[in-house]
Structure 1
């Protein structure tokens, strides 16, 4: 099994990066849709229905599969022998950021359901601020893996 993982590593890593990019694109865009939804759409209007459809499809068709593939490929790479130095701090920093990214993804899913139900209690400003979370986590993940500063 570990020999197979080692030989498939370039393909697993490629798929991991592709899925991660798709996941990040969704995490950047969905909170922006929430801002438009809260600030510009009245409950039950065509605009609200269009935004609800866009939010649902982005989450269900793009973001959820991308997150799952990112996790599966990441776990396969963790299982590849000799790939990670577990005595260093960077794998743990990356893992914490990925877990936080997954929490943010789930938070977005909850917000989508609330907006679809007509709950506009979270203001657009809060969604704008939350939209910065994936950027900060992206920085931690990329620096941890590429520069390995700790």
Structure 2
């Protein structure tokens, strides 16, 4: 029971840390989309921040996912009948992984000077991880099915 609680606690900490990066990285994209073309130093600084945050966020995602797998496969969380919530949660986790990957693609487009989206689009894009985290937490806590 002790190991289960330790693994679960670490999983929560790494997921929260991963999402902190996913909350802030698109905010950097909003700022990058608003940088005037002549502001080379500002653009370079924001790109550096984006690269570092993307790297750090990716590093945090790895133990979050590994600890989640350990809870599922090692401790049997969500096994048996009446655990449809876990399937829904895992589907949303795949969406989060896709969102994370999408952030990397968008960052590379900014680096290449190929951004075609407005700051308003990035403001909406920035809301997705909040909604995903809310849905995942509700599924885990409420376990509606």
TM-score (norm 2): 0.92
Structure 1 residues 28 and 41 mapped into 2: Cα distance closer, same or farther (>3 Å)? farther
| Post-superposition CA distance 1:48-98 (Å, at most 9, x none) | 0000000000010x2001111111000000113443244221001110111
Question: Is 2:68 the partner of 1:68?
Answer: no
CA contact (8 A) 2:26 2:123 kept: yes
TM-score (norm 1): 0.89
Question: Is 2:133 the partner of 1:134?
Answer: no
3-state DSSP of counterpart to 1:50: helix
Map 1:7-86 onto structure 2 (within 5 A): 7-42=2-37, 45-60=40-55, 62-86=56-80
1:134 positional shift: 0.6
Aligned residues: 144
Q: Which 4+ residue blocks in structure 1 deviate beyond 6 angstroms?
A: none
3-state DSSP of counterpart to 2:115: coil
Q: How well do the aligned residues superpose, as a CA RMSD in angstroms? A: 1.5
Which of 112, 115, 122 is matched with 1:117 structurally? 112
Question: Is 2:92 the partner of 1:97?
Answer: yes
5+ residue gaps, structure 2: none
5+ residue gaps, structure 1: 1-5
3-state DSSP of counterpart to 1:42: coil
